[in-house]
Structure 1
Amino acid sequence: MSRIVKAALTAVILSLPGVTLAAMAQETPTVHALAMYDEPELPAGFDHFAYVNPEAPVGGELVRAATGSFDSTNPFIVKGTPASGLMEIYDTLMVQNPDEPFTMYGLLAEGVRLDPDRRWMEFDLHPEARFHDETPVRASDVVFSFRLLRDEGAPFYAAYYADVTSAQAIDEDTVRFDFAEDNSRELPLILGQLPILPEHYWKGRDFATPTLDPLLSSGPYRIAEVDPGRRIVYERVGDYWGKDLPVNRGRHNIKRLIFDYYRDQTVALEAFKAGNLDMRVESSARNWATAYDFPAVEQGHVKKLLIPDGQPAGMQAFVMNLRRDKFKDARVREAFNLAFDFPWLNDNLFYGAYERTHSYFENSPMAAEGLPSDGELALLEPYRDQLPENVFKKSLPIEHPQDLRPRLREALGLLRNAGYEVHNGELVNRKTGEPFTLEILLYDAQFERIVQPLLTNLERIGVQGKIRIVDVNQYLNRLRNFDYDMIVGSFPQSANPGNEQREYWTTPYADQPQSRNLIGLKNPVIDALVEQLIRAHTREELDTAAQALDRVLRWGFYVIPQYHLAATRVAIWDKYGYADPFPEYNLDLSAWWVDPERAKVINQRQHGGR
């Protein structure tokens, strides 16, 4: 149906009595983009994102490493271990501009209408949108995808879409979502991120069971090869319906994206040095400082890039599992925090590369500092009798002695107050005589050198600890079932945190398999603060709510914060072109391309041409 015919039909419908919602929709302007706050930077009719090269050549390949194994090509479900890169095959309703904090521009959605009171929104699908089998993308596919992910997908989706009360197809290419009365300001943009699955493909199939089929989708890439557990290859779709849209021009330039699987990062590093991989995102400060001295670097064939990260650092930490009785006492958790010696690690293992993380919203205005502000107090006062006194009376960051020895003395005092004492070098429960044991679960041996110093320090106060390294599949299975004492976990944050905070911190997700409530938090105060954050109406309200949540989480000592670097380390064989400067808020590899002339030289240097 053409837009003109649809407009005519809509006008007829609006002339009927009682059609108030339709009338409201008709009066709401259709826009090309949505911003969290203020207005989108790029006007309707823009040609391309500012950081891309719209004339970038198409071709070549990019080979990267993945760790462990995989047994599924479905990235949306609880079961199975999904392959890396699967989101490359899917289109979403809208796409983010990496040069803006949180602004979405139309992809599958040609136009968007958002109720001024934010109680509903509508998407007009692009009339050219097609799945890879040439079937048109319809509004019914959008509704189907929303319901399927919410009801049968991983818990993340139910949390993300919790404030959506209904989804309906108005006609073949218009879909409407209605929202709960007190919903998140982020919700319209969250719906813009909805990946669209083909209803005709999935009807009659078991969505919740892992598969290795090359699933049907509509995005810029399709699955070309699947070697279970070893390799997955994506090929660029030459007749991709959206390749000339402004949000795609100059992007998705590389013909083949390949993920090769390796047992661990050490083997993957050697594969990169040998020329079997084209790119490596380096997570080890020691490797970055010492491992890139091979001939290809000296000859200029391999480049090292330090790409600034405009997002909050978030929280990487040793996560204590509150589902274990041993961690239910906050004094025990604080004692474990005291045993972590970051200055020693930074000097001896990290070459001084990192900064200590304190906040769950590190490197952003959302991090709590000092004593609570008036705005924070307004949120915290109703819960004063349920919160530690220090939340109100002590400044952040939490201060402890710099030297390890006095910190361990303080830790031992906390453990004694919590009902433990040391007998023959072992920390034991005073009532039961049971020794305090600890297992830290890992899947990557590279982290062993970081964990071991913590265990050594804990051993000095009587804690009997060990490291358990398992393969990725076993690790994910244990993670799904919260079968661990302690893990190394992360809680990434964007500049505009929202609905995902429910899954990180709130009670409904504490016992839901595969949720990201890794800690096992069941705290009504934290539940309430998360809702305050999600429902913030202004940037100031959001920052204040995040600071209050951050303050309560930090005084709970639920994790042992580790460290962060406000940049991404990337090593590449020098055959790729990319934006310079990089986009401010996210690294967009889809805007990279293979330089044909440089590729001839580098491919010959890597392995005699490819």
Structure 2
Amino acid sequence: MGTTLRFTRRRFGQMALGLAASAALPGRGFAASPTETPLHGLSAFGDLKYPADFAQFDYATPDAPSGGRLDFFVPNWMLNQSPLTFDTLNTFVLKGNAPPRIEGLYDALMTSSLDEPDALYCALAATVTISPDRNAYVFALRPEATFSTGAKVTAEDVVFSYETFKEKGHPSLQITLQEVVEVVADAPDRVRLVFSGKQTDQDALGVFGMPIVPKAFFDAEPFESVTAKAIPGSGRFEIGAMEFGRYIEYRKRQDYWAKEMGFARGLDHFDTIRIEFFRDRTVAFEAFKKGSITFREEFTSKTWATDYNFPAVLDGSVVKREFPREKTPTFQCWALNQRRERFADRRVRQAINLCFDFEWTNAQMFYGIYKHSDSCFETSDFKAEGPPSPAELEILEPLRDKLPEEVFGEVWTQPVSDGSGRDRTRLREVLRLFGEAGWTQKGGRLVDASGQPFTLEYMIDDPGFERVYSKFVQTLKAVGVDASFRLVDGAQYQERQNRFDFDLIGAAYSMGATPTRDTLVNFYGSQTKDREGSNNFVGMADPGVDALIDVVNRAEDRRSLTMAMRALDRVLRARFDWIPNIHSESHRAAYWDMFGFREPKPDYGWPVERLWWVDAEKAEALGKA
């Protein structure tokens, strides 16, 4: 949001590689995969790109040198993780703040690639076999698979992990596992996952990517209370040096069991990944300028436009450049908490949106580098355009009585201001909308019929938001809203967000190219309206949206998925629950010129910490060898 970082809810098992997209694949799902036959991978839409004996993913670099260290300030995170501080090493629960990238400690039964939209390949599992009724999946574990403790990964560990996450895990994990009804150890090296029969192939994508943890560790450690101890995993990394709240180092395991297997070969070149925690962006930027941080993705427009003129940039020691954004949906919106009655009226939300003069803000505060968002699915094929197509109408018409009439006309787009910062025509429209919703101006204040003032508190965790969005708040005040900022620290922000204790917050997420039911329900579904820790910050509960989520989930090919997502987009934009904010079409990054990497970057994910490596000659020239 001009000065924001991206919040990214990434699935475990994908290990920061994300779900990719490719429209060229034919329409075949799990249903096309044979039953009672051991398989090396599964694809919800289309054939697998890689054969059973594949040596590496195409974007991997096996001949890259191994070693060195990456020091960075993370651009994205998941579950209970925070980039500002950390006070627990348990990322599987709602409580506390875990360090980002701790998911690197854990492998899953299956993992995804960057160059397919919905394919999963066996990781901890050697094969997966689908039952005749297609409701059960039997995984044969690899005999080589071991935890960092040296213990073998067993079926009991898998059963424990799934059952514990479903019962006690973070709400996002519980939502993903809702259609799993049974997990059974058929043998020490064989486990069976049984679904309810209500699941679709898309539902399984997240389920099979769950992290696996050792059951034995929790014999003496209650799951919910693990904080200062690292939960062992079977993944590529383990925790090295760390200090709560300041930094953590992930050290590459030299004894990693899968380093020469196709799904892991040619990735993870750094010996150490060090994450620094800063509560203040100015301090973080100064650390980068000094070279103690060596890679930085920039989210502050003013800094990008005006501050990259220090000596290391001028002499070429630091490279400043833009990289293409992934071909996946970009979600960057404001959330007005409709659990508070004054925000429940759509006209109120429309009026508040009109108080944000994007054209003025982009010119005066963002240096012209952002675009105004119309949709929750910007930069993707899921964004609707114009009137509904015949394929979209086929989805929408049966639900007409549950949907706003506006859905069936031209799709909503952001109104354009005159750029003055005080567009009088626009302000009159703001007052009209508030008036229709029952709020009138008295003595310069908006009040309801009982004389209660309209208040709005914008909760932030970085003072930079106050600078960038001060004009927005000033405009709200000008029309009579008692508007203010509330700056809280990172831990308090996370806790209040989890409890839905706010009026207005900003939210930014990267979504996969194949949205699954658990992802959509987490943001838009009725069942998460009151589920603390979910991403349904606005408090949505709409039967029409729920029905469309089901249509998306039942899509049998990518074209059907795209049409259903566009239909959902139309409804979300007409309802105005989430208020689309801004987005960028590129990654703005700066780094000390000591790295090597393959170009072009992958189209559907950019985990620099997994793909890049230290170039010894460049590092030596900079004195960083």
The more displaced of 139-148 and 449-458 is: 449-458
Query: Secondary structure of 2:469's match?
Result: helix
* C-alpha distance in 2 between matches for 1:189 and 1:559: 26
* C-alpha distance in 2 between matches for 1:434 and 1:415: 14
Given candidates 184, 197, 222, the residue that maps to 2:213 is 197
Give, as a single letter, the amino acid of the residue that structure 2 aligns with 1:454. Answer: F
Given candidates 389, 394, 416, the residue that maps to 1:378 is 394
Deviation of 1:401 after TM superposition, in Å, equals: 5.1
- Asked if structure 1 preserves the Cα contact closer than 8 Å seen for 2:446 and 2:481, the reply is yes
| 2:44 paired with 1:36 | yes
- Asked if structure 2 preserves the Cα contact closer than 8 Å seen for 1:339 and 1:458, the reply is yes
| 2:171 paired with 1:155 | yes
* C-alpha distance in 2 between matches for 1:99 and 1:304: 26
* C-alpha distance in 1 between matches for 2:534 and 2:604: 26
* C-alpha distance in 2 between matches for 1:218 and 1:381: 49
| 2:279 paired with 1:263 | yes
**TM-aligned CA distance change 1:491 to 1:526, over 3 Å:** farther
Given candidates 69, 72, 86, the residue that maps to 1:61 is 69
Given candidates 586, 592, 596, the residue that maps to 2:616 is 596
- Asked if structure 1 preserves the Cα contact closer than 8 Å seen for 2:34 and 2:130, the reply is no
Query: Secondary structure of 1:262's match?
Result: coil
The aligned residue for residue 94 of structure 2 is: 78
* C-alpha distance in 1 between matches for 2:459 and 2:499: 13
1:304-323, Cα deviation, whole Å (9 max, x unpaired): 23221223342212210001
* C-alpha distance in 2 between matches for 1:335 and 1:118: 49
The aligned residue for residue 602 of structure 2 is: 583
* C-alpha distance in 1 between matches for 2:414 and 2:528: 31
* C-alpha distance in 1 between matches for 2:432 and 2:152: 67
RMSD: 1.9
Query: Secondary structure of 1:432's match?
Result: coil
The aligned residue for residue 430 of structure 2 is: 411
1:268-307, Cα deviation, whole Å (9 max, x unpaired): 0111001111111111222222211111111111112322
* C-alpha distance in 1 between matches for 2:192 and 2:347: 50
Given candidates 496, 500, 508, the residue that maps to 1:478 is 496
Counterparts of residues 130-149 of structure 1 (less than 5 Å): 130-149=146-165
**TM-aligned CA distance change 1:65 to 1:364, over 3 Å:** closer
- Asked if structure 2 preserves the Cα contact closer than 8 Å seen for 1:145 and 1:197, the reply is yes
Give, as a single letter, the amino acid of the residue that structure 2 aligns with 1:409. Answer: R
Query: Secondary structure of 2:48's match?
Result: coil
The aligned residue for residue 566 of structure 1 is: 585
Deviation of 1:210 after TM superposition, in Å, equals: 4.6
* C-alpha distance in 1 between matches for 2:163 and 2:321: 42
The aligned residue for residue 446 of structure 2 is: 427
The aligned residue for residue 494 of structure 1 is: 512
* C-alpha distance in 2 between matches for 1:577 and 1:196: 32
- Asked if structure 2 preserves the Cα contact closer than 8 Å seen for 1:313 and 1:564, the reply is no
Deviation of 1:182 after TM superposition, in Å, equals: 3.2
The aligned residue for residue 79 of structure 2 is: none
**TM-aligned CA distance change 1:438 to 1:323, over 3 Å:** same
Counterparts of residues 3-14 of structure 1 (less than 5 Å): none
* C-alpha distance in 2 between matches for 1:263 and 1:157: 28
1:369-391, Cα deviation, whole Å (9 max, x unpaired): 22233333333334433332212
1:228-247, Cα deviation, whole Å (9 max, x unpaired): 11111111101111111111
**TM-aligned CA distance change 1:116 to 1:544, over 3 Å:** farther
Given candidates 362, 368, 377, the residue that maps to 2:378 is 362
The aligned residue for residue 447 of structure 1 is: 465
Given candidates 327, 342, 362, the residue that maps to 1:346 is 362
Give, as a single letter, the amino acid of the residue that structure 1 aligns with 2:471. Answer: P
1:497-519, Cα deviation, whole Å (9 max, x unpaired): 01211111112211111111111
**TM-aligned CA distance change 1:163 to 1:27, over 3 Å:** closer
* C-alpha distance in 2 between matches for 1:358 and 1:33: 37
Given candidates 530, 537, 542, the residue that maps to 1:511 is 530
- Asked if structure 2 preserves the Cα contact closer than 8 Å seen for 1:108 and 1:129, the reply is yes
1:517-575, Cα deviation, whole Å (9 max, x unpaired): 11111222222221221222221221122122211111111232111112222211111
- Asked if structure 2 preserves the Cα contact closer than 8 Å seen for 1:421 and 1:427, the reply is yes
**TM-aligned CA distance change 1:420 to 1:236, over 3 Å:** same
The more displaced of 360-369 and 139-148 is: 360-369
Query: Secondary structure of 2:73's match?
Result: strand
* C-alpha distance in 2 between matches for 1:26 and 1:58: 40
- Asked if structure 2 preserves the Cα contact closer than 8 Å seen for 1:60 and 1:256, the reply is yes
* C-alpha distance in 1 between matches for 2:406 and 2:445: 30
- Asked if structure 2 preserves the Cα contact closer than 8 Å seen for 1:54 and 1:249, the reply is yes
TM-score, structure 1 length as denominator? 0.91
- Asked if structure 1 preserves the Cα contact closer than 8 Å seen for 2:90 and 2:230, the reply is no
- Asked if structure 2 preserves the Cα contact closer than 8 Å seen for 1:182 and 1:535, the reply is no
The aligned residue for residue 16 of structure 1 is: none
The aligned residue for residue 11 of structure 1 is: none
Give, as a single letter, the amino acid of the residue that structure 1 aligns with 2:550. Answer: E
| 2:71 paired with 1:51 | no
The aligned residue for residue 25 of structure 2 is: none
- Asked if structure 2 preserves the Cα contact closer than 8 Å seen for 1:223 and 1:233, the reply is yes
The aligned residue for residue 417 of structure 2 is: 402
| 2:482 paired with 1:464 | yes
* C-alpha distance in 1 between matches for 2:617 and 2:405: 65
- Asked if structure 1 preserves the Cα contact closer than 8 Å seen for 2:458 and 2:485, the reply is yes
Give, as a single letter, the amino acid of the residue that structure 2 aligns with 1:471. Answer: D
Query: Secondary structure of 1:365's match?
Result: coil
Structure 1 gap segments, 5+ residues each: 1-24
The more displaced of 142-151 and 362-371 is: 362-371
Counterparts of residues 99-110 of structure 1 (less than 5 Å): 99-110=115-126
Deviation of 1:181 after TM superposition, in Å, equals: 2.3
Identity %: 37
1:17-52, Cα deviation, whole Å (9 max, x unpaired): xxxxxxxx9953222222231111122212112122
1:65-119, Cα deviation, whole Å (9 max, x unpaired): 2642110011110111111221111112222211222322221121122357642
- Asked if structure 2 preserves the Cα contact closer than 8 Å seen for 1:212 and 1:226, the reply is no
- Asked if structure 2 preserves the Cα contact closer than 8 Å seen for 1:72 and 1:210, the reply is yes
Give, as a single letter, the amino acid of the residue that structure 2 aligns with 1:601. Answer: A
- Asked if structure 1 preserves the Cα contact closer than 8 Å seen for 2:138 and 2:191, the reply is yes
- Asked if structure 2 preserves the Cα contact closer than 8 Å seen for 1:75 and 1:86, the reply is yes
Give, as a single letter, the amino acid of the residue that structure 2 aligns with 1:267. Answer: V
* C-alpha distance in 1 between matches for 2:567 and 2:87: 41
1:422-449, Cα deviation, whole Å (9 max, x unpaired): 11211111x1111111100000122222
* C-alpha distance in 1 between matches for 2:353 and 2:34: 57
- Asked if structure 2 preserves the Cα contact closer than 8 Å seen for 1:222 and 1:234, the reply is yes
**TM-aligned CA distance change 1:41 to 1:454, over 3 Å:** same
The more displaced of 200-209 and 253-262 is: 200-209
Query: Secondary structure of 2:115's match?
Result: coil
The aligned residue for residue 312 of structure 2 is: 296
**TM-aligned CA distance change 1:216 to 1:373, over 3 Å:** same
Structure 1 outlier segments of 4+, above 4 Å: none
Query: Secondary structure of 1:214's match?
Result: coil
* C-alpha distance in 2 between matches for 1:356 and 1:399: 7
Give, as a single letter, the amino acid of the residue that structure 1 aligns with 2:475. Answer: N
- Larger Rg belongs to: 1
- Asked if structure 1 preserves the Cα contact closer than 8 Å seen for 2:434 and 2:440, the reply is yes
* C-alpha distance in 2 between matches for 1:389 and 1:483: 32
| 2:454 paired with 1:436 | yes
Give, as a single letter, the amino acid of the residue that structure 2 aligns with 1:417. Answer: E
